[in-house]
């Protein structure tokens, strides 16, 4: 299982990366995409939406099930990966790159710091 050391992780299997100051890019982990199976549809919040940490903000539909996606930090959605509308398989093929989901302008940077580091996330998924 791929768990990049430079990312932060939620207990709900989202990853987070600071891309510009308080802007945080969000996606699902390799563990999550593997558990989901082939993703066939993605429902994401619109740019401009306010989100709260640990709140369900979207849905990921796979051949196995429908799963909610949670915001790891609070703030405003400033970007949505539009490529997923036509190619949801990007979540399976490249979960840490082209398969990112949304970007949030974080209201409280301390929420990012409170997320799991790679070692803690590995312990969560291996335990």
Per-residue pLDDT of the chain (127 residues; tens, 9 = 90+): 899 999 999 999 999 999 998 999 999 999 999 999 999 999 999 999 999 999 999 999 999 999 999 999 999 999 999 999 999 999 999 999 999 999 999 999 999 999 999 999 999 999 7
pTM, to two decimals: 0.94
Q: Where are the domains of the chain?
A: 8-126
| Nearest C-alpha neighbor of 31 from the set 110, 96, 104 | 96
Q: What values do phi and psi take at 118, rounded to 5? A: -60, -40
H or E stretch at 16: strand 14-20
The fold of the 8-126 domain, in CATH, is OB fold (Dihydrolipoamide Acetyltransferase, E2P) (2.40.50)
Q: Do 73 and 16 meet the contact criterion of CB atoms below 8 Å apart?
A: yes
């Amino acid at each position: 299982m791929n768990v990049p050391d430079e990312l932060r992780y939620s207990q709900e299997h989202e990853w987070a990366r600071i891309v510009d100051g308080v802007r945080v890019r969000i996606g699902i982990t390799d563990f999550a995409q593997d558990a989901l199976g082939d993703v066939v549809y993605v429902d994401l919040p619109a740019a401009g939406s306010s989100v709260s940490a640990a709140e369900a903000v979207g849905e990921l539909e796979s051949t196995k099930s429908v799963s909610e996606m949670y915001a790891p930090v609070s703030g405003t959605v400033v970007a949505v990966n539009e490529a997923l509308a036509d190619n949801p398989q990007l979540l399976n093929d490249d979960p840490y790159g082209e398969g990112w989901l949304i970007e949030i302008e974080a209201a409280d940077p301390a929420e990012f710091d409170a997320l799991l580091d790679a070692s803690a996330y590995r312990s969560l998924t291996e335990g």
